[in-house]
Amino acid sequence: MRCWLIKSEPSAYSWEDLVRDGRTSWDGVRNPQARNYLQRMRRGDRCLYYHSNQGEEVAGIARVVRRAYPDPSSADPRWVAVDVAPLPTLTRRVPLSELRTHVATAAMVLVRQSRLSVCPVTTVEFRAVLKLAAAPVEP
DNA sequence: GCCAACGTTGGC
DNA sequence: GCCAACGTTGGC
């Protein structure tokens, strides 16, 4: 099982939208590097669900329920989509600013290469984010 | 709203 | 095939 991070602007499609829908097609990716990562995803892989632009935080965890297939939103067969479903909502969301400050998460691709909409996450990073998501807010 | 970091396009 | 110009993303 591998770990990834997928980005969405909450005004376009938020974590709440995914929870409401129960499952969605992760399509519309038009960046070659992000596409390569989509193709490497397998059923059961975990995805940090990140809100870009508004929020700038890990808003939830999703799992891959269908591996890469031709993106229905494109006539070009080179672009692919996967399907994802939500896992139970996090106790606490983890803002980007916090990921920057922790040693275990400061080197995440998300932090270093902000424009990539799909990126890999190491299992160490993934566990660190989960830990931060479960931690109570500092007083 | 600005700008840095990329990616893409097109002239040469 | 190089690179300048331009467009887009996303943090700040």
Q: CA of A115 and C1' of C8: distance in angstroms?
A: 9
Nearest nucleic acid nucleotide to A52, CA to C1' distance: C10
Quickly tell me which residue has 């269908």 as its tokens: A66
> For B8, which residue's CA is nearest its C1'?
A31
Residue-by-residue DSSP string for A63-128: EEEEEEEE-TT-SSTT-EEEEEEEPSPPSS-EEHHHHHHSTTTTT-HHHH-TT-SEEEE-HHHHHH
Residues 27-86 of A with CB under 7 A from strand C: 50, 52-53, 56
Summarised one tens digit per residue, pLDDT across range A22-56 is: 999 999 999 999 999 999 999 999 999 999 999 99
Summarised one tens digit per residue, pLDDT across range A109-133 is: 999 999 999 999 999 999 999 999 9
Q: CA of A51 and C1' of B1: distance in angstroms?
A: 21
At A75 the pLDDT is: 81
What does the alpha-carbon distance between residue A28 and residue A48 come to, in Å, rounded to a whole number?
Answer: 18
Summarised one tens digit per residue, pLDDT across range A58-96 is: 999 999 999 999 999 888 888 999 999 999 989 999 999
> For B7, which residue's CA is nearest its C1'?
A31
A13 pLDDT higher than 90? yes
At A137 the pLDDT is: 60
Q: CA of A27 and C1' of C8: distance in angstroms?
A: 18
At A120 the pLDDT is: 95
At A48 the pLDDT is: 97
Q: Which pTM does this prediction carry?
A: 0.93
The closest alpha carbon to A80, from A35, A34, A45, belongs to A35
A139 pLDDT higher than 90? no
